[in-house]
Amino acid sequence: MQNDWPLAWLRERLAYVPREPGLFAVALTHRSASNDNNERLEYLGDAVLNLLMAERLYAGFPAAAEGDLSRLRARMVSEEPLAGVAGTLGLGEVLRLGAGELKTGGFRRQSILADALEALVGALYLDAGLEEVRRIVMPLFDERVRELPHPAQLKDAKTRLQEHLQARALPLPLYHLDTVEGEPHEQVFHVRCEAPQAGAASEGSGSSRRRAEQQAAERLLAQLTAGEARS
């Protein structure tokens, strides 16, 4: 593998000239293209990015509790924003992919782009250290950090429903799996959620029991808040 092929891209998009170009050649190589691929660098970059994002959010949200900071970080280092940053860099254009991934548009796939961005962070860390990663990579997330919602809005529906009931000294909701339809590879789960002492119940469905429960909780919470607003 030639080690200098990502150099022009690194200079243009990141204004960075690596000490070890081979690290970046590996970081931009998907496992479908070579056994010498970016999976190990992805592992390292994930840890580095989590640390730097935790640092950034800790400083940027001084009033947020630990759980809120964890939810914010989980949002920021999830597949969608990572792939979005990778897209702004044009990272998909320089990825080395196998023939099958190229044919199916792997250079646009969110999971591949997100993994490659983490691998790129891992390569930067090994090549230049944590401070350079902070300087080069973290500004790429500035707009997304500014657009983060209030931490409470990141809580899933089951958590929000539980907190709603607890705040009113009511028992926790009950979830019942009613039916499961479809073939094993494409099942649909139907769940009922009840808050007996609040006199409310709802139903939800989804491709997993968890998703069905989340939908049912969302609907039940909407019922309860609407009822309170009318009273």
Rounded to whole angstroms, how far apart are CA atoms 46 and 196? 43
The neighbouring-strand residues paired with 203 are 192
3-class secondary-structure state, position 210: helix
Q: Please tell me the pTM assigned to this model.
A: 0.69
Residue burial 183-199, b: 16+ Cβ < 10 Å; e: rest: eeeeeebbbbbbbeebe
Could you list the pLDDT tens digit for every one of the 231 residues in the chain?
A: 455 678 889 999 999 999 999 999 999 999 888 998 999 999 999 999 999 999 999 999 998 889 889 989 998 999 999 999 999 999 998 999 888 887 888 778 898 999 999 999 999 999 999 999 999 999 999 999 999 987 767 778 898 899 999 999 999 999 999 999 988 878 999 999 999 999 999 999 998 999 999 999 999 999 999 888 886
> Which residues participate in catalysis according to the annotation?
46, 118
Around Cβ 90, how many Cβ atoms within 10 Å?
11
What residue ranges do the domains of the chain occupy? 7-147, 157-230
Write the CATH number of the domain with boundaries 7-147.
1.10.1520.10
Write the CATH number of the domain with boundaries 157-230.
3.30.160.20
